[in-house]
């Protein structure tokens, strides 16, 4: 995209950490990524009724485009734990119930894996991103990050399950112990954002 065509894109999130990742990865000149709060509005309360990450990302992106009249970007991401048959999956943000905090979800996950040995604690983060443009056309990208679940939270960075997730490519360190640039380089959302960047730049 050229600098002569500045675009404001609304991101379907109230999570400032996620917004920071998106702004860092999609640093096109002339693009501005904003949230509803940046526009003086409340975030939309969208029920994620899809049974896949793609369905939920699509649902959110189209809802934000319709509500704000801007191109909209949404992602749906989650943790898939092999020993739990892929749970929490699309329910990652509400694994411990409606209104659950990150800490609540982490406690439930550790409890569910209490009897699972280290070699069987494999998991991956999975992210699907949908960008809906002014005309309603979709650009879809996805990414994954393989790893395992630790035995307790470590690190002050990131959000969600980051303090428990040990990426395979950073042995001994959780996602929450990585600097933003390190996380973006290996994370599921980082991979999805790079794939989206390539599609948009192409």
179 is a domain residue: yes
Which residue(s) pair with 123 in the sheet?
81, 147
Is position 1 within any domain? no
Q: What was the pLDDT predicted at 5?
A: 57
Q: Tell me, what's the pLDDT at 158?
A: 84
Residue 3 pLDDT class (50, 70, 90 cuts):
very low
CA 35, CA 48: separation in Å to the nearest integer? 18
Q: Is the pLDDT of residue 2 over 70?
A: no
Where residue 47 falls among pLDDT bands split at 50, 70, 90?
confident
Active site residue ranges:
76
The pLDDT of residue 4 is: 57
12 falls within a domain: yes
Does residue 76 carry a pLDDT above 80?
yes
Q: Which CATH number do you get for residue 134?
A: 3.90.950.10
Residue 117 lies in a domain: yes
| Residue at 99 is within a domain | yes
CA-based nearest residue to 197, from 73, 60, 62: 73
Over residues 84-98, the pLDDT tens digits come to 999 999 999 999 998
Q: Is residue 120 part of a domain?
A: yes
Residue 48 lies in a domain: yes
Is residue 68 within a helix (H) or strand (E), and if so which, with residue range? helix 53-68
Number of structural domains the chain divides into = 1
Instruction: Please give the Cα distance from 197 to 83 (Å, whole number).
Output: 33
β-pairing, 7-11 vs 31-34, is parallel
Cα–Cα dist 3/124, whole Å: 37
Span 105-122, mean pLDDT?
Answer: 96
Inform me whether the pLDDT recorded for 10 exceeds 90.
yes
Who's near 178: CB < 8 A, 6+ residues apart? Answer: 155, 157, 158, 167, 170, 186
More confident: 101 or 181 = 101
How does the average pLDDT of the chain come out, rounded?
A: 92
Confirm whether 2 is domain-assigned: no
Q: Which domain, by its residues, includes 122?
A: 7-201
Global pTM reads: 0.86
Tell me the C-alpha distance between 182 and 201, whole Å: 23
Average pLDDT over residues 35-39: 93
């Amino acid at each position: 995209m050229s600098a002569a065509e500045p675009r404001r894109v609304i991101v379907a999130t109230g999570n400032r950490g996620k917004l920071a990742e998106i702004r860092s990865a999609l640093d096109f000149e002339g693009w501005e990524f904003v949230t509803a709060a940046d526009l003086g509005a409340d975030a939309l309360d969208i029920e994620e009724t899809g049974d896949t990450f793609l369905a939920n990302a699509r649902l959110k992106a189209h809802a934000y485009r319709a509500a704000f009249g801007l191109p909209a970007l949404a992602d749906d991401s989650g943790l898939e734990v092999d020993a739990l048959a892929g749970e929490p999956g699309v329910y990652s943000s509400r694994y411990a119930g409606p209104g659950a905090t990150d800490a609540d979800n982490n406690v439930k996950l550790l409890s569910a894996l209490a009897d699972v040995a280290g070699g069987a604690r494999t998991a991956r983060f999975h992210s699907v991103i949908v960008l809906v443009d002014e005309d309603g056309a979709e650009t879809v990208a996805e990414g994954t990050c393989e790893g395992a679940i630790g035995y307790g939270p470590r690190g002050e960075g990131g959000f969600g399950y980051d303090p428990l997730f040990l990426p395979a490519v950073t042995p001994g360190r959780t996602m929450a112990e990585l600097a933003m640039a390190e996380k973006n380089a290996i994370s599921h959302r980082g991979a999805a954002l790079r794939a989206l960047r390539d599609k948009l730049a192409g």
